[in-house]
Structure 1
Amino acid sequence: MSARDVVIAGYGMAGARLADEIRRRDPAAERVRLTVLGAERHAAYNRVLLSAVVAGGMSPASVRLHDDDWAARTHVDLRLGLAAARIDRGKRRVELTDGSTVDYDALVLATGANPWLPPVEGLAAGPGVVTFRTLDDCAEILDAARFGAPVAVLGGGLLGLEAARGLAGRGNQVTVVHPNRHVMERRLDPAAGHVLARQLTGMGVTFRFGATAASYLPGDGLKLDDGSFVPADLVVVAAGVRAETSLAEDAGLDVDRGIVVDDVLRTSDGRIHALGDCARHPGAPAGLIQPAWEQAEVLADVLTGTNAAARYRGTTAVIRLKARGVDLAALGETQVEATDDDAEVLTFTDPAGGRYGKLVVRENRVTGAILLGLPDAAASITQYYDRGTPLPDDRLAVLLGRALPPGTAQAAGPAELPAAAVICRCNNVTKARLIEAWKAGATETPALARATRATTGCGGCADTVGAVANWLAAQ
Structure 2
Amino acid sequence: MSTRIVVVGGGTAGARLAQRLPVTLLGEEPHAPYNRVLLADVLAGRYGPEVIALPGTREPARLGVRAVRIDRAARTVECADGSLVGYDRLVLATGSAPVLPPLRGLRGTEPPSGVHPFRTLDDCLALRALVRPGTRAVVVGGGLLGVSAARALAALGAGVVLTQQGEHLMESQLDRTSSALLQEHLEARGVEVHTECRVSGLRRHRGAVTAVELADGYVLDADVVILACGVRPRVALARDAGLEVRRGVVVDDELRTSDPYVHAIGDCAEHRDRVYGLAGPALDQADVLAELLTAEAEAEALGGTGSGSGTGRGPGSPAAPRYTGTRALTRLTLAGPAADTIDTLGTLDTLGPLDLATFGETTPTPGDDVVQLTDATRRAYRKVVVRGDRLVGGVLLGDLASVGTLARTWEGDEALPEDAPLLHLLTHDGGS
Structure 2-normalised TM-score? 0.85
Q: Structure with the greater relative contact order (CA < 8 A, sep ≥ 6): 1 or 2?
A: 2
Aligned position for 2:306: none
1:256 to 1:403, Cα distance in 2 relative to 1, 3 A: closer
Q: What secondary structure does 2:401 align onto? A: helix
The 3-state SS of whatever aligns with 1:220 is strand
Matched, 1:138 2:138: no
Structure 1: which amino acid aligns with 2:31? H
Output the CA distance in 2 between the equivalents of 1:59 and 1:400. Answer: 38
CA separation in 2, counterparts of 1:375 and 1:53? Answer: 25
Unaligned runs of 5+ in 2: 299-312, 314-318, 333-347
1:178 and 1:211 in contact (8 A); partners too: yes
CA 1:89–1:310: 2 relative to 1, 3 Å: same
1:453-464 aligned within 5 A: none
Structure 1 CA distance for aligned equivalents of residues 216 and 427 of structure 2: 41
The residue matched to 1:4 in structure 2 has which SS? coil
Structure 2 match to 1:51: 40
The answer for the alignment partner of 1:309 in structure 2 is 320
**1:390 corresponding residue in structure 2:** 416
1:407-418 maps to which residues of 2 (within 5 A)?
none
What do the CA deviations read for 1:202-222 (whole angstroms, capped 9, x no partner)? 121111111111111134221
Cα distance in structure 1, aligned partners of 2:261 and 2:29: 25
CA distance in 2, matches of 1:64, 1:83: 20
Specify the alignment match of 1:381 in structure 2: 406
Displacement of 1:182: 0.4
Say if 1:221 and 1:352 are closer, same or farther in 2 by CA, change over 3 A. Answer: farther
1-structure distance, mates of 2:276, 2:356:
19
Residues 330, 358 of structure 2: 8 Å contact kept: yes
Q: Is the CA contact (8 Å cut-off) linking 2:401 and 2:428 kept in structure 1?
A: yes
Instruction: Give yes or no for contact 1:7–1:108 (8 Å, CA) kept in 2.
Output: yes
Deviation at 1:185, TM superposition (A): 0.8
Shift of 1:285: 5.0
Amino acid at match of 2:379: G
Partner residue, 1:468: none
| Matching residue of 2:336 | none
**1:346-361 map, 5 Å:** 346-351=371-376, 353-361=378-386
> Contact (CA 8 Å) 1:6, 1:105: kept in 2 or not?
yes
Q: What do residues 253-287 of structure 1 show as CA deviations (whole Å, max 9, x unaligned)?
A: 01101111111110000000001111111275532
Give the distance between the partners of 2:272 and 2:152, measured in 1 at CA. Answer: 33
CA contact (8 A) 2:424 2:431 kept: no
Of 170, 183, 193, which aligns to 1:184? 170
**1:294 alignment partner in structure 2:** 284
Check conservation: 1:285, 1:317, Cα contact below 8 A: no
Q: 1:79 aligns with which of 46, 59, 62?
A: 62
* Matched residue type, 2:262: I
Provide the rounded CA distance (Å) in 2 between the counterparts of 1:101 and 1:13. Answer: 24
Partner of 1:432: none
Q: Measure the CA separation in 2 of the matches of 1:395 and 1:231.
A: 49
Give the superposition deviation at 1:349: 2.7
**Larger mean Cα displacement after TM superposition, 246-255 or 396-405:** 396-405
What amino acid maps onto 1:238 in structure 2? A
Distance in 2, matches of 1:372 and 1:283, equals: 31
Q: Does 1:203 align with 2:189?
A: yes
Correspondent of 1:34 among 1, 19, 23? 23
* Secondary structure in 2 matching 1:269: coil
Please give the secondary structure, in 1, of the residue aligned with 2:16. Answer: helix
For the 8 Å contact 2:165–2:195, the answer to whether it is kept is: yes
Equivalent residue, structure 2, for 1:17: 16
Secondary structure at the aligned position of 1:138 is classed as helix
Distance in 1 between the 2:4 and 2:420 partners? 55
The one-letter code sitting in structure 2 at the alignment partner of 1:328 is L
Residue-pair matches, total = 385
Structure 1 ranges of 4+ moved more than 6 A: none
**In the aligned structure 1, how far is the partner of 2:6 from the partner of 2:430?**
47
| Alignment pair present for 1:147 and 2:133 | yes
**Amino-acid identity (%):** 43
Q: Calculate the aligned-residue CA RMSD, in Å.
A: 1.8
Deviation at 1:77, TM superposition (A): 4.6
Q: Distance in 2 between matches of 1:126 and 1:289?
A: 31
SS at match of 2:331: strand
Whole-angstrom distance in 1 between the partners of 2:250 and 2:192: 40
User: CA offsets, 1:183-239, max 9 Å, x none?
Assistant: 111111222211211121112111111111111113422110011122211001110
Aligned twin of 1:27: none
Equivalences for residues 299-338 of structure 1 within 5 A? 299-305=289-295, 308-321=319-332, 322-323=348-349, 324-325=351-352, 326-336=354-364
Q: 1:231 to 1:351 in 2, by over 3 A?
A: farther
The structural deviation recorded for 1:170 is 1.8
Q: Is the 8 A contact 1:285 1:315 kept in 2?
A: no
CA distance in structure 1 between the partners assigned to 2:421 and 2:156 by the alignment: 43
Q: Does 1:265 align with 2:255?
A: yes
- TM score, norm. by length of structure 1: 0.78
SS of 1:304 mapped into structure 2: helix
Equivalent position amino acid for 1:34 in 2: V
* Conservation of the 8 A alpha-carbon contact between 2:143 and 2:169: yes
